[in-house]
Amino acid sequence: MTVVEAPPPLPIRDKTTRDRVDGGLSPMLTRLAAEQATGVLVREGGSLHLAGGLVLHAESRFAPGLGTLLTAHGALTAEEWWTAVGEAGDLAGTARLLLAGGHLTRAAVQICHLQTLYDAAYFALAPSSSPGRFHYGAVHVDTGEDAGSPLPAVPVADVEREVVRRRTLLHGLWPDALTDSEPLVRTHPIAAPALTPRQTAVLALVDGVRTAPDIAIAQGGRAFPTLVEVRRLAAAGLLAMPPAPPPPAAQPPGPPMGVPVAPPDDFDPHIALLKRVRDALEAL
Protein backbone atom coordinates (compact mmCIF):
# COMPACT_ATOMS: atom_id res chain seq x y z
CA MET A 1 0.00 0.00 0.00
CA THR A 2 1.29 3.45 -0.87
CA VAL A 3 1.69 5.70 2.15
CA VAL A 4 1.87 9.47 1.79
CA GLU A 5 3.19 11.31 4.80
CA ALA A 6 1.36 14.32 6.17
CA PRO A 7 2.80 17.76 5.31
CA PRO A 8 5.76 18.59 7.55
CA PRO A 9 5.13 21.06 10.38
CA LEU A 10 6.36 24.60 10.04
CA PRO A 11 9.93 24.88 11.30
CA ILE A 12 10.54 26.83 14.49
CA ARG A 13 12.10 30.25 13.87
CA ASP A 14 15.86 29.78 13.83
CA LYS A 15 17.33 32.37 16.18
CA THR A 16 20.75 32.00 14.58
CA THR A 17 19.47 33.31 11.24
CA ARG A 18 20.61 36.82 12.10
CA ASP A 19 24.21 35.55 12.09
CA ARG A 20 23.98 33.97 8.63
CA VAL A 21 23.28 36.99 6.45
CA ASP A 22 27.02 37.00 5.63
CA GLY A 23 27.42 40.60 4.65
CA GLY A 24 24.05 41.01 2.99
CA LEU A 25 21.98 39.50 0.21
CA SER A 26 22.80 42.44 -2.03
CA PRO A 27 26.20 44.14 -1.73
CA MET A 28 24.73 47.20 -3.44
CA LEU A 29 21.94 47.41 -0.86
CA THR A 30 24.46 47.06 1.97
CA ARG A 31 26.52 49.90 0.52
CA LEU A 32 23.45 52.10 0.08
CA ALA A 33 22.48 51.54 3.70
CA ALA A 34 25.96 52.55 4.82
CA GLU A 35 25.74 55.69 2.65
CA GLN A 36 22.30 56.51 4.07
CA ALA A 37 21.19 56.85 0.47
CA THR A 38 17.78 57.97 -0.74
CA GLY A 39 16.28 56.57 -3.92
CA VAL A 40 14.90 53.39 -5.50
CA LEU A 41 16.83 50.14 -5.93
CA VAL A 42 15.35 48.34 -8.95
CA ARG A 43 16.01 44.63 -9.32
CA GLU A 44 14.59 41.89 -11.52
CA GLY A 45 12.04 40.75 -8.93
CA GLY A 46 10.97 44.14 -7.60
CA SER A 47 12.16 47.39 -6.06
CA LEU A 48 13.11 48.77 -2.66
CA HIS A 49 12.45 52.42 -1.81
CA LEU A 50 15.08 53.89 0.52
CA ALA A 51 15.26 57.11 2.49
CA GLY A 52 18.32 57.85 4.59
CA GLY A 53 19.46 54.26 4.13
CA LEU A 54 16.20 52.85 5.54
CA VAL A 55 13.64 50.86 3.58
CA LEU A 56 10.40 52.80 3.29
CA HIS A 57 8.55 50.19 1.30
CA ALA A 58 9.05 47.50 -1.32
CA GLU A 59 7.17 46.62 -4.48
CA SER A 60 7.01 43.48 -6.59
CA ARG A 61 4.69 42.23 -9.28
CA PHE A 62 4.72 38.91 -7.42
CA ALA A 63 3.36 40.28 -4.13
CA PRO A 64 0.00 41.96 -3.38
CA GLY A 65 0.40 45.58 -2.33
CA LEU A 66 -1.00 47.47 0.63
CA GLY A 67 -4.14 48.48 -1.26
CA THR A 68 -4.90 44.87 -2.18
CA LEU A 69 -4.66 43.71 1.43
CA LEU A 70 -6.80 46.55 2.76
CA THR A 71 -9.55 46.25 0.13
CA ALA A 72 -9.73 42.49 -0.47
CA HIS A 73 -11.46 41.61 2.79
CA GLY A 74 -13.56 44.67 3.50
CA ALA A 75 -11.30 46.88 5.61
CA LEU A 76 -11.67 49.52 2.89
CA THR A 77 -13.63 49.86 -0.30
CA ALA A 78 -11.68 50.15 -3.53
CA GLU A 79 -13.18 53.61 -4.00
CA GLU A 80 -11.93 54.80 -0.60
CA TRP A 81 -8.43 53.50 -1.32
CA TRP A 82 -8.11 55.01 -4.80
CA THR A 83 -9.61 58.32 -3.69
CA ALA A 84 -6.94 58.59 -0.99
CA VAL A 85 -4.23 57.59 -3.47
CA GLY A 86 -5.38 60.26 -5.89
CA GLU A 87 -5.39 62.98 -3.23
CA ALA A 88 -2.10 62.03 -1.56
CA GLY A 89 0.07 60.89 -4.44
CA ASP A 90 2.34 58.64 -2.34
CA LEU A 91 1.97 55.67 -0.02
CA ALA A 92 2.68 57.50 3.25
CA GLY A 93 0.28 60.31 2.36
CA THR A 94 -2.41 57.79 1.43
CA ALA A 95 -2.08 56.06 4.80
CA ARG A 96 -2.16 59.43 6.57
CA LEU A 97 -5.42 60.41 4.84
CA LEU A 98 -7.06 57.08 5.66
CA LEU A 99 -6.09 57.43 9.31
CA ALA A 100 -7.35 61.01 9.47
CA GLY A 101 -10.65 59.93 7.96
CA GLY A 102 -11.11 57.22 10.56
CA HIS A 103 -11.11 54.42 8.01
CA LEU A 104 -8.29 52.46 9.67
CA THR A 105 -6.35 52.24 12.90
CA ARG A 106 -2.64 53.06 12.98
CA ALA A 107 -1.82 49.52 14.14
CA ALA A 108 -3.71 47.96 11.21
CA VAL A 109 -1.93 50.19 8.69
CA GLN A 110 1.51 49.48 10.14
CA ILE A 111 0.98 45.72 10.32
CA CYS A 112 -0.26 45.53 6.72
CA HIS A 113 2.57 47.81 5.58
CA LEU A 114 5.25 45.61 7.13
CA GLN A 115 3.63 42.46 5.74
CA THR A 116 3.59 43.82 2.19
CA LEU A 117 7.12 45.23 2.57
CA TYR A 118 8.60 41.88 3.60
CA ASP A 119 6.58 39.96 1.00
CA ALA A 120 7.81 42.20 -1.82
CA ALA A 121 11.38 42.25 -0.48
CA TYR A 122 11.48 38.44 -0.59
CA PHE A 123 11.02 38.59 -4.36
CA ALA A 124 13.02 41.77 -4.92
CA LEU A 125 16.10 40.27 -3.23
CA ALA A 126 15.80 36.87 -4.92
CA PRO A 127 18.79 35.73 -7.01
CA SER A 128 18.57 37.28 -10.46
CA SER A 129 20.30 37.13 -13.82
CA SER A 130 20.69 40.90 -14.17
CA PRO A 131 22.32 43.52 -11.91
CA GLY A 132 20.29 45.97 -9.87
CA ARG A 133 20.09 49.70 -10.61
CA PHE A 134 19.79 52.49 -8.07
CA HIS A 135 18.10 55.79 -8.88
CA TYR A 136 19.18 58.44 -6.40
CA GLY A 137 16.68 60.90 -5.00
CA ALA A 138 13.68 59.27 -6.64
CA VAL A 139 11.48 59.00 -3.54
CA HIS A 140 9.84 61.42 -1.17
CA VAL A 141 12.02 61.65 1.97
CA ASP A 142 9.76 60.46 4.75
CA THR A 143 11.69 58.30 7.19
CA GLY A 144 8.98 57.02 9.46
CA GLU A 145 6.92 58.20 12.40
CA ASP A 146 9.51 60.76 13.46
CA ALA A 147 8.80 62.57 10.19
CA GLY A 148 5.05 62.26 10.65
CA SER A 149 4.59 59.16 8.50
CA PRO A 150 2.32 56.38 9.80
CA LEU A 151 4.43 53.83 7.94
CA PRO A 152 7.55 52.68 9.81
CA ALA A 153 10.84 52.58 7.90
CA VAL A 154 12.90 49.42 8.35
CA PRO A 155 16.70 49.03 8.55
CA VAL A 156 18.22 47.15 5.64
CA ALA A 157 19.73 44.55 7.99
CA ASP A 158 16.25 43.72 9.34
CA VAL A 159 14.83 43.32 5.83
CA GLU A 160 17.66 41.03 4.76
CA ARG A 161 17.39 38.99 7.94
CA GLU A 162 13.67 38.44 7.35
CA VAL A 163 14.28 37.40 3.73
CA VAL A 164 16.89 34.87 4.86
CA ARG A 165 14.52 33.51 7.51
CA ARG A 166 11.81 33.01 4.91
CA ARG A 167 14.15 31.31 2.47
CA THR A 168 15.32 28.94 5.21
CA LEU A 169 11.76 28.13 6.27
CA LEU A 170 10.55 27.49 2.73
CA HIS A 171 13.60 25.39 1.87
CA GLY A 172 12.84 23.21 4.89
CA LEU A 173 9.32 22.59 3.60
CA TRP A 174 10.25 21.88 -0.03
CA PRO A 175 13.66 22.67 -1.53
CA ASP A 176 12.61 23.54 -5.09
CA ALA A 177 12.31 27.35 -5.21
CA LEU A 178 10.76 27.20 -8.69
CA THR A 179 7.40 26.54 -7.03
CA ASP A 180 7.49 30.21 -5.99
CA SER A 181 7.30 31.47 -9.56
CA GLU A 182 6.36 28.73 -12.06
CA PRO A 183 2.83 27.66 -13.12
CA LEU A 184 1.42 24.88 -10.99
CA VAL A 185 -0.66 21.79 -11.77
CA ARG A 186 -2.53 19.43 -9.50
CA THR A 187 -1.45 15.85 -9.05
CA HIS A 188 -3.52 12.98 -7.71
CA PRO A 189 -1.61 10.66 -5.38
CA ILE A 190 -3.17 7.38 -4.37
CA ALA A 191 -3.37 8.25 -0.67
CA ALA A 192 -3.73 12.01 -0.41
CA PRO A 193 -3.33 13.56 3.05
CA ALA A 194 -6.08 15.57 4.71
CA LEU A 195 -6.08 19.23 3.70
CA THR A 196 -6.54 22.36 5.74
CA PRO A 197 -9.12 24.92 4.57
CA ARG A 198 -6.32 27.20 3.38
CA GLN A 199 -4.73 24.40 1.34
CA THR A 200 -8.09 23.54 -0.19
CA ALA A 201 -8.55 27.18 -1.21
CA VAL A 202 -5.09 27.24 -2.80
CA LEU A 203 -5.70 24.00 -4.73
CA ALA A 204 -9.00 25.33 -6.03
CA LEU A 205 -7.08 28.05 -7.94
CA VAL A 206 -4.42 25.76 -9.41
CA ASP A 207 -5.11 25.48 -13.13
CA GLY A 208 -1.77 24.89 -14.85
CA VAL A 209 -1.41 28.60 -15.61
CA ARG A 210 -1.43 30.40 -12.27
CA THR A 211 1.72 30.68 -10.17
CA ALA A 212 1.83 30.89 -6.38
CA PRO A 213 1.94 34.74 -6.50
CA ASP A 214 -1.01 34.71 -8.93
CA ILE A 215 -2.98 32.65 -6.42
CA ALA A 216 -2.11 35.05 -3.59
CA ILE A 217 -3.23 38.03 -5.66
CA ALA A 218 -6.44 36.25 -6.71
CA GLN A 219 -7.22 35.58 -3.05
CA GLY A 220 -6.31 39.12 -2.02
CA GLY A 221 -3.95 37.72 0.60
CA ARG A 222 -0.29 37.87 1.48
CA ALA A 223 2.25 36.19 -0.75
CA PHE A 224 4.35 34.43 1.86
CA PRO A 225 1.60 32.30 3.50
CA THR A 226 0.61 31.18 0.01
CA LEU A 227 4.21 30.18 -0.74
CA VAL A 228 4.22 28.16 2.49
CA GLU A 229 1.05 26.28 1.54
CA VAL A 230 2.26 25.67 -2.02
CA ARG A 231 5.51 24.13 -0.80
CA ARG A 232 3.65 21.98 1.74
CA LEU A 233 1.32 20.76 -1.00
CA ALA A 234 4.31 20.04 -3.24
CA ALA A 235 5.96 18.08 -0.45
CA ALA A 236 2.74 16.08 -0.01
CA GLY A 237 2.69 15.22 -3.71
CA LEU A 238 -0.42 17.27 -4.48
CA LEU A 239 1.22 19.95 -6.60
CA ALA A 240 3.84 19.95 -9.32
CA MET A 241 5.03 22.07 -12.20
CA PRO A 242 3.92 21.23 -15.75
CA PRO A 243 6.45 19.08 -17.62
CA ALA A 244 8.70 20.97 -19.97
CA PRO A 245 7.65 20.72 -23.63
CA PRO A 246 9.71 18.25 -25.64
CA PRO A 247 12.47 19.77 -27.75
CA PRO A 248 11.64 20.18 -31.43
CA ALA A 249 12.54 17.21 -33.56
CA ALA A 250 15.85 17.58 -35.35
CA GLN A 251 15.45 18.26 -39.05
CA PRO A 252 17.47 16.03 -41.40
CA PRO A 253 20.39 17.92 -42.90
CA GLY A 254 19.82 19.35 -46.39
CA PRO A 255 22.08 18.76 -49.37
CA PRO A 256 25.44 20.53 -49.37
CA MET A 257 25.50 23.96 -50.99
CA GLY A 258 26.13 23.81 -54.72
CA VAL A 259 24.81 20.26 -55.09
CA PRO A 260 21.69 20.12 -57.33
CA VAL A 261 18.60 18.54 -55.82
CA ALA A 262 17.00 15.81 -57.92
CA PRO A 263 13.31 16.52 -58.70
CA PRO A 264 10.70 14.08 -57.39
CA ASP A 265 9.63 11.19 -59.58
CA ASP A 266 6.24 12.79 -60.40
CA PHE A 267 7.75 16.18 -61.36
CA ASP A 268 6.11 17.67 -64.48
CA PRO A 269 8.04 20.65 -65.93
CA HIS A 270 4.95 21.93 -67.79
CA ILE A 271 2.86 22.13 -64.63
CA ALA A 272 5.74 23.80 -62.81
CA LEU A 273 5.97 26.45 -65.56
CA LEU A 274 2.22 27.13 -65.39
CA LYS A 275 2.43 27.59 -61.61
CA ARG A 276 5.26 30.11 -61.97
CA VAL A 277 3.25 32.05 -64.58
CA ARG A 278 0.21 32.02 -62.30
CA ASP A 279 2.23 33.30 -59.32
CA ALA A 280 3.71 36.09 -61.46
CA LEU A 281 0.28 37.20 -62.68
CA GLU A 282 -1.13 37.23 -59.12
CA ALA A 283 1.77 39.39 -58.01
CA LEU A 284 0.95 42.12 -60.58
Q: Where are the domains of the chain?
A: 17-168, 174-240
Q: Is the pTM of this model over 0.85?
A: no
State the average pLDDT over residues 78-104: 89
Contact 228, 169 (CB under 8 A): yes
Cα of 133 vs its chain's centroid, Å: 19
Residue 18 confidence (pLDDT) above 50: no
Q: Which of helix, strand or coil describes residue 40?
A: strand
Cα distances (angstroms) measured from residue 282 to each of 271, 278, 279: 17, 6, 5
Q: What pLDDT digit, counting tens, does each position of 123-166 carry?
A: 999 988 888 899 998 665 444 444 567 888 999 999 999 999 99
Tens of pLDDT, residue by residue over 207-252, are: 999 999 999 999 888 999 999 999 999 999 999 988 767 777 666 6
- Do residues 235 and 199 lie in contact, with contact meaning Cβ atoms separated by under 8 Å? no
